[in-house]
Amino acid sequence: MLLVIGLDGATFDLLDPWLAAGHLPTLAGLVARGVSGPLRSTLPPVTAPAWASFMTGKNPAGHGVFDFFRPHSPDLDRPQLVNATDMQARPLWDYLSAAGRRVGVLNVPLTYPPPPVNGFLAPGLLSPDEGETTYPPGFLRPYHAESGPYRLTPHVTYHPRRTAAFIADVQAVTAAQIRYALRIAQDHPVDFLMVHFFMTDLAQHKLWRYLDETHPFYRPEMGARFGTAVRDVFAQIDAALDALLDRLPGDTAVMVMSDHGFGPQRQVVNLNLGLMAAGLLALKEEAWVRLRAALARQPQAARWTMRLLRLGGRERLLGYADVDWRQTMAYAQGHMGQVYLNVQGRQPQGIVPPADYLAARARVMQALQDLREPATGRALVADVIPREAAGEGPYLAAGPDLHVIMADPGDVAYPMFATDGALVAQQWLADSGNHRPEGILVACGPVFRHGRMHEARLIDLAPTILHLSGVAVPDDMHGRVLTEMFTDEFQQAYPVCTQPAAAFRPFATPPPDEANALITEQLRALGYLG
């Protein structure tokens, strides 16, 4: 059988020293006996599109999920969140099930509403009810009495003053997921079992400031108290992995992987203010909008104004509702530097004629390339990548037109519209860690060779898992089988076979508005909606 462990956001930058120092003995054993290396995420390296790419073996343009929310929501200030029915491609468990393999999937993001599988599936992040809705229905219920309530997200919202309580709750969520995984692995033997842990991502977003002495938010006394908190979450899962392997057959192949890596977030960059300064985005000529825009140009005043506005329930100094779309050529919306052109026929008030798309895009690219940090004059942007270079696919035109890669990865073009008005801002209450494009892949078992590998991408895992499971690879996947992971004997005995891709068919109706409202609230509390 194959066991896949997802460690959301895991990076070798943190893991390598912990592995060397003996803090993660189970994973260290897998690395020593197996094959491992970096795993290239999607562009953008955001959890929702990344997991969709893991599941489907396709680039975001191939499955249509580009962020936590849908592009071109009617109200950009309250964008509609994505769910499993937004993914326009078949997940790997669909192919495994069709080939008669028994599959079990626990906690993978973007699997709500749960698709039917030949086995069981309990959805992860982006589901509204902490494991209540599963396939088959009620799957987790028999375990409630013994294992307690199922948990997906903490109930404690992070704030520096609540750090200890937040860490305890993150560990409680992970502990609940471990209790269920161990019992379920014992009770329900399958050919493919996947267990995902999301708290590794959340812990790094919030707690990076305590483990990194070079971080601007680092304080020695807090570092001394909480500096091992992220490592402790990984160690908790490492011990569980050992217990899980004890319960599974001795020849189980194991893959440990992450959807993207992680690193410090030092500053946030509000690309929309940069586009405004370049004359590519205009605000409405209303007094109240102009007043807030003027305040936005004075960071100190902006901060105080925001405090007052927040008392009145306003979250941001400026929002998309303030934009004059008839004079706006481009805007940023997304978690990692996604920029959209305002195209006629695509956006309701689009102004860029499709015939002028490339010329307009070149102008926006140049303006983004020219962005400089006001305080130092250094270039903020390393690269601006046009959509087709991020990967082709039938949904290309629906997604972002440009992806901005920051020169310093500690600068994150993160908020939809930054909370205080500066182009570049340090925000004490914001995250201190954020995503990087390189995740991890570790594989160990009789079919895997030993050593390092360097070329693996997240989109390669679905075809690789299908091949390893003896299922022909659908010919429309963008990823390839990572044959170099396997022993020579395995490669010779099992050449890669392909099959014509089965047509995509919707498996469920999208969830009702109440469910979406609940998920939105959860994500907002976690700090994933800027």
Question: 37, 484 in Cβ contact below 8 A?
Answer: no
**What is the CB neighbour count within 10 angstroms for residue 221?**
7
- The residues with which 411 forms a beta bridge, in sequence order, are 267
Quote the least distance from Cβ 198 to Zn ion, whole Å. 7
d(CA 373, CA 375): 6
Q: Enumerate the H helices of 248-356 as residue ranges.
A: 271-277, 287-296, 299-311
**What is the CB neighbour count within 10 angstroms for residue 472?**
15
d(CA 405, CA 384): 6
Closest CB to Zn ion among 67 and 201?
A: 201
Residue 308: which of 299, 296, 317 has the closest Cα?
317
Closest CB to Zn ion among 94 and 259?
A: 259
Quote the least distance from Cβ 199 to Zn ion, whole Å. 11
d(CA 450, CA 458): 20
Quote the least distance from Cβ 284 to Zn ion, whole Å. 36
Quote the least distance from Cβ 6 to Zn ion, whole Å. 9
Residue with tokens 């007094």: 287
d(CA 179, CA 328): 52
Quote the least distance from Cβ 170 to Zn ion, whole Å. 15
Quote the least distance from Cβ 440 to Zn ion, whole Å. 12
- Residues lying near Zn ion in the complex (CB under 5 A) are found at 8-9, 47, 201, 259
Residue with tokens 């020293």: 17
Closest CB to Zn ion among 45 and 421?
A: 45
Question: 64, 86 in Cβ contact below 8 A?
Answer: yes
Closest CB to Zn ion among 50 and 364?
A: 50
d(CA 325, CA 244): 54
Quote the least distance from Cβ 436 to Zn ion, whole Å. 11
Closest CB to Zn ion among 197 and 486?
A: 197
Closest CB to Zn ion among 49 and 62?
A: 49
Quote the least distance from Cβ 8 to Zn ion, whole Å. 4
Quote the least distance from Cβ 41 to Zn ion, whole Å. 9
Is the four-CA dihedral 444, 448, 453, 456 of positive or negative sign? negative
Taking CB atoms, the residue at the shortest distance from Zn ion is 47
Question: 115, 507 in Cβ contact below 8 A?
Answer: yes
Is the four-CA dihedral 137, 139, 145, 150 of positive or negative sign? negative
Residues 496-530 as b or e (16 or more Cβ within 10 Å = b): eeeeeeeeeeebeeebeeebbeebbebbeebebbb
Closest CB to Zn ion among 12 and 95?
A: 12
Closest CB to Zn ion among 170 and 371?
A: 170
Closest CB to Zn ion among 194 and 253?
A: 194
Quote the least distance from Cβ 46 to Zn ion, whole Å. 7
Quote the least distance from Cβ 67 to Zn ion, whole Å. 12
d(CA 84, CA 311): 36
Closest CB to Zn ion among 259 and 401?
A: 259
Q: How long a stretch of residues is the chain?
A: 530
Closest CB to Zn ion among 9 and 391?
A: 9
DSSP string, 156-207: SPP-GGGHHHHHHHHHHHHHHHHHHHHHHHHHS--SEEEEEE-HHHHHHHHH
